[in-house]
Amino acid sequence: ETVIIRTLRKLDVMFRFSSSQCIILLNNTSMENVELVSHRIINSFYRLYDKKNMSLSYDTADINNSSADNPAE
């Protein structure tokens, strides 16, 4: 959670969905920049945690068009 909060801009929002899931809203952000933010979060996460014991996955969607991209990682 801390990794995500440190990565986001002040206008972005993160919600805890469950004990292991978050929903992140990136306001006024292109899908290209969404990918950049996603990779920045992943890289920060793996710098802090042992890659052998945890995994991180994400999915993206453009809520303006209600179309989901392919799941990544």
User: Cα torsion for 11, 17, 18, 19, to the nearest 10°?
Assistant: 0
Task: Give the whole-angstrom CA distance, residue 3 versus residue 63.
Answer: 24
Q: What is the pLDDT of residues 20-47, one digit of tens each?
A: 899 999 999 999 999 999 999 988 888 8
pLDDT at 7: 87
pLDDT at 72 over 60: no
Is the overall model pTM greater than 0.75, yes or no?
Answer: no
Q: Residue 72: in which H helix or E strand, if any?
A: none
Q: State what percent of residues in the chain have pLDDT above 90.
A: 34
